Amino acid sequence: MLTILYRGPLSSCDYDCAYCPFAKRRDSPERLRADRAALERFTGWVRERDFEVSVLFTPWGEGLVRSWYRRALVELSWLPNVAKVAIQTNLSCRTDWLAEASDRAALWVTYHPTQVPYERFLAKVGSLPVRHSVGIVGDPAHLPHARRLREDLPPETYLWVNAEEGRLYTDAEAADWAAIDPHFHHSRFPHPSLGLPCRTGDTVISVNGDGMVRRCHFVPEVLGNLYDGSYRPALRPRACPATACDCHIGYVHLEPLGLYDLFAGGVLERIPF
């Protein structure tokens, strides 16, 4: 099976989070058209494969406010060669359309407390007909919201906490977050990764809108192109060339961490076994 992290040209969002470069950014009509065409080309490619594929859409900004991402999620979820299709989302979109997806669709939902009324967010999560995790950025101002959310979500819904970029947590602060997310220690510090085996570049790849294939979103070297097949001979077990890996969508594939065991069956949507 090949796992693909897809990120097209889209780089706009309807939310205005203080910690994000894509806050309230707008895409030009040309960029939106290009993003749609790139996504449709990608889904067409997936449809024609004779091997199993899993996909995580990791757009800069928010994808599900665009019809083409909603359509891609539903369509891919029904393809016989697609094991899983998931997307990172702020869940600002309507959710009724998800009833049309198969049980192979999943959501990686992030709660942004300054952007959406709590009750509205909770009700929306509660109505989701597909597998999902819910998460929050570990900003101290978010702590009461995270605690409330943990209380109100069903116990079986995993609530993850992402360490805030650049923030150093005292042990006491980390303990507060770990009481909400028992796996917070994986996010607290960047993982030293240089020279360690990582599944990216072998069974996991990153693809952009032009079909350029890289091992992951964080290593710029290009392995080839998806659409001319030139990436395939480059796939092999590889060591990480970066000093550290500090994003879940990267280090979940770092072999020594053993996170495929922890997230068995839910690696892409971040749901522990």
Is residue 61 a contact residue for ligand SF4 (CB under 6 A)?
Answer: yes
* Cα 12 from Cα 62, distance rounded (Å): 6
Is residue 27 a contact residue for ligand SF4 (CB under 6 A)?
Answer: no
CB of 134 to ligand SF4, least distance (A): 13
CB of 239 to ligand SF4, least distance (A): 8
Binding marks (x or -) toward ligand SF4, 188..217, rule CB under 6 A? -----x----x-x--------------xx-
CB of 201 to ligand SF4, least distance (A): 7
Residues 134/109, Cβ–Cβ less than 8 Å: yes
DSSP 254: B
Q: Which is nearer to ligand SF4, 47 or 217 (CB)?
A: 217
Is residue 10 a contact residue for ligand SF4 (CB under 6 A)?
Answer: no
Q: Which is nearer to ligand SF4, 61 or 266 (CB)?
A: 61
Range list of β-strands (E), 90-169:
105-110, 131-137, 159-162
Contact range with ligand SF4 by CB under 6 A, out of 18-26, 28-36, 163-171, 227-235: 18-26
Is residue 242 a contact residue for ligand SF4 (CB under 6 A)?
Answer: yes
Is residue 251 a contact residue for ligand SF4 (CB under 6 A)?
Answer: yes
Contacts of 15 (CB under 8 A, 6+ apart): 23, 24, 62, 90, 92, 112, 115, 116
Is residue 223 a contact residue for ligand SF4 (CB under 6 A)?
Answer: no
Q: How far is C-alpha 141 from the chain's CA centre?
A: 23
DSSP 235: -
Q: Which is nearer to ligand SF4, 94 or 99 (CB)?
A: 94
Burial of residue 165 (number of CB atoms within 10 Å: 0-12, 13-18, 19+): exposed
Residues 98-117 that bind ligand SF4 (CB under 6 A): 112
CA dihedral 153, 245, 58, 62 (to 10 degrees): 70
Report helix, strand and coil shares of the chain as percent, to nearest 5. 30, 25, 45
Give residues in contact with ligand SF4 (CB under 6 A): 13, 15, 17, 20, 22-23, 61-62, 90, 112, 193, 198, 200, 215-216, 218-219, 240, 242, 245, 250-251, 253-254
